[in-house]
Chain A
Amino acid sequence: MSTKTHVQTKINGETVDFLCEPRQSLLEVLRDVLQMTGSKEGCNDGNCGACTVNMDGRIVDSCLVLGVEAAGSEINTIEGVATSDGLHPIQQAFLENAALQCGICTPGFIVASKALLEAEPNPSEERIRLWLAGNLCRCTGYDKIVRAVMDAAQKMA
């Protein structure tokens, strides 16, 4: 079999072509092939959520997706969250609520929170905590993150 596979996919609304080895994860493709380093590698085994991206409307850990599986998919990453008009309300709420310290987990939290608020505009605190259970943060103690998501939900209403 050939060493690299041609993959065509859509990332943040734009058609993207890349070559990757079957063993490369979507996260590796994003970071190492496409130089989109917003998605972070934390645990690389599906526990921490730092690499969370939206794939065909569902959040997934991009370290647990093969790059070749992205063929024909629609991927949305942290790079597509802010627009030319400025930060997304969730990003703004993270800043205003001091919901980040070192920042490594933040892209994953924001991509995950965005998917939640798009599906459920007014989630309870319990629902937010459940939804974000697949994202680990070792700095904030989570409270500020949860408050930021609740704040963003109000502002987006």
Chain B
Amino acid sequence: MKWIDFANPTTLDEAIRLLSEHGEKARVMAGGTDLIVQLRVSPERIGNADLVIDGKGIPELNEISFSKEEGLTLGASVPCYKIYQNPTIAETYPGLIDSASLIGGIQIQGRASIGGNLCNGTPSADSIPTLIAHNVVCKIVGPGGTREVDVEDFCTGPSRTILEPNELLVSLHFPAPPKGFGARYIRFIPRNEMDIAVAGVGASVQLDEKNSVIKSARVALASVGPTPILVNEATSALVGKSPEDESAISKAGQAAKSAATPINDMRGTVEYRKHLCDVLTRRALNAAITRAKGGTIDVH
């Protein structure tokens, strides 16, 4: 690996001072499962960074706090295993567990964080459609203070995000799920584990008190465009419809297929990936509806 320096600040102020001094030459590390590989293999793709700032010593980045009123605040460096081993999160946000338990294998989940997955910003990131489906808001801190950004606006291109060089992602805020909310993430890979999504879909629905009308819905896609894609047309197809309305679900699937702008590569063709968006959207929506009604869908 090329030469790097290492800093492990214990406060946000210290981290921001380091980021301000070193600009694009500094990178914040959470689990390091992407960053260390990039430093080793393709440092030019991350601006030949020469300072790694470990975020794991900063209390705000390790936060896991939940209340029924406020929802969940998840620090940007909390590793995946701490998410799925937390009984409250597992019960309240099974859609988040879908993603946290399939990023890499057990070794990767011991280190990798959802915040890091987001900041790495690859179109195939398994957590980002889930975050979009959950209406997550990102808390970002920089020299000028704090700003909040809707997660669907966070990624701007492949491995590009709205973070300025002197800013860092502190935490992700998940709204408290009202009764009748359900979410699900599924992906297609040719293996059973440890692979990059050919296509992935995160979906959520909010049903009314009688579980008879979809009040709101979100569908977001992975691996089929330069960024994760929020499919607004799927929302339009579903809102106001019955959760048993197969034609509304089908329309949402078609909307996902239309919204996808994939490339041909070794993992799949454009046509195949668009087809997957349709199928996975319908499956994810039906599973989200089952969860919204209080039913159980196994994570794996």
Contacts and interface: CB of A to CB of B under 8 A. Distances in A.
Contact of B107 (A1, A52, A129): A52
A46 B33 contact: yes
B40 A134 contact: no
B32 A134 contact: no
B300 A134 contact: no
Contacts of A65: 32, 36, 111
Interface string A61-72: 101111011000
B231 to A, nearest CB: 30
A153 to B, nearest CB: 17
Interface in B1-36: 1-6, 8, 31-33, 36
Interface residues of B, number: 30
Contacts, number: 84
A58 B145 CA distance: 35
Contact of A46 (B8, B37, B39, B52): B37
Contacts of A55: 110
Contacts of B39: 23
Interface in A45-67: 45-47, 49, 52, 55, 58-61, 63-66
A76 interface: no
Contact of B2 (A23, A24, A58, A130): A23
Given A22-B52, A45-B37, A66-B52, A1 B5 contact: yes
B225 interface: no
Given A60-B107, A60-B111, A133-B106, A45 B40 contact: yes
Interface in A20-56: 21-25, 44-47, 49, 52, 55
Interface string B93-122: 000000000001111101100000000000
B128 to A, nearest CB: 20
B54 interface: yes
B270 interface: no
B111 A22 contact: no
B1 A64 contact: no
B297 interface: no
B52 A134 contact: no
A132 to B, nearest CB: 8
B149 interface: no
B162 interface: no
In the complex, which of the residues A49, A64, A65, A69 has the most CB atoms of chain B within 10 Å of its own CB atom?
A64
Interface in B210-250: none
A22 B108 contact: no
24 contacts: A1-B5, A21-B3, A24-B1, A25-B1, A44-B40, A46-B104, A49-B107, A55-B110, A58-B81, A59-B107, A60-B110, A63-B36, A64-B33, A64-B36, A64-B108, A66-B52, A69-B54, A129-B192, A130-B192, A134-B104, A134-B107, A134-B108, A134-B193, A134-B194
Interface of B: 1-6, 8, 31-33, 36-37, 39-41, 52, 54, 79, 81, 104-108, 110-111, 192-194, 300
Please provide the 5 A-B residue pairs with the shortest distance between their CB atoms, ordered closest to farther: A134-B105, A133-B193, A22-B6, A58-B110, A23-B1
Given A5-B6, A112-B106, 20 more contacts: A21-B3, A22-B4, A22-B5, A22-B52, A23-B1, A44-B40, A47-B194, A58-B110, A60-B107, A61-B33, A61-B107, A64-B37, A64-B108, A66-B32, A66-B36, A66-B52, A130-B193, A134-B105, A134-B107, A135-B105
